[in-house]
């Protein structure tokens, strides 16, 4: 059974990140336009008692041209460094909460070592902002749900 398509079924496949190993690239940095998202992520985590699993100092965050409909990726390199790539074309047209969702989702992979979680709540919405985008849950990340999703994101388990 398929639920009626809506905008999220269009958007969600674009939100897929992937974790894969690649050859070691040249050292990078955090793009200035994306730095505030890393800061917010750490602030929101600290407010919830989060201690980083991965040292943010080994993480690079930058824009890139990603293939297909991928909007963000968390990459882990063989020397332990990590990198988040954000689709330049996605960013140009994304709404504020969609940008934050993408960054926080990828930071969930890269700094919290979280994997995808596609669990649905009773109302069909996603339990976690770490959903894959390929599951059936509906993403509702926004002003009224942000706190709940961030509580779940930083929940120690």
CB of 85 to Zn ion, least distance (A): 12
Site residues for Zn ion, window 10-39 (CB under 5 A)? 17
DSSP annotation of 127 reads S
Q: Which long-range contacts (CB under 8 A, 24 or more apart) does 44-51 make?
A: 44/150, 44/154, 45/154, 48/150, 48/151, 48/154, 48/155, 49/154, 49/156, 50/112, 50/154, 50/156
Q: Which is nearer to Zn ion, 1 or 82 (CB)?
A: 82
CB of 116 to Zn ion, least distance (A): 5
Is 17 or 45 the residue whose CB approaches Zn ion more closely? 17
By beta carbon distance, the residue nearest Zn ion is 17
Closer residue to Zn ion, CB minimum distance, 107 or 122: 107
Q: Which residues bind Zn ion (CB under 5 A)?
A: 17
């Amino acid at each position: 059974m398929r639920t009626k398509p809506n905008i999220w079924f269009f958007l969600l496949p674009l939100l897929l990140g992937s974790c894969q190993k690649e050859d070691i690239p040249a050292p990078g940095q955090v793009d200035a336009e994306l730095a505030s998202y890393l800061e917010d992520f750490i602030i929101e985590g600290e407010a919830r008692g989060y201690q980083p699993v991965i040292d943010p100092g080994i993480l690079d965050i930058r824009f890139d041209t990603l293939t297909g409909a991928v909007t963000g990726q968390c990459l882990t390199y063989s020397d332990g460094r990590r990198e988040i790539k954000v689709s330049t074309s996605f960013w140009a047209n994304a709404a504020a909460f969609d940008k934050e969702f993408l960054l926080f989702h990828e930071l969930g992979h890269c700094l919290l070592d979280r994997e995808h979680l596609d669990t649905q709540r009773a109302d069909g919405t996603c339990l976690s902002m770490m959903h894959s985008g390929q599951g059936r849950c509906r993403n509702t990340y926004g002003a009224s749900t942000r706190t709940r999703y961030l509580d779940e994101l930083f929940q120690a388990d």
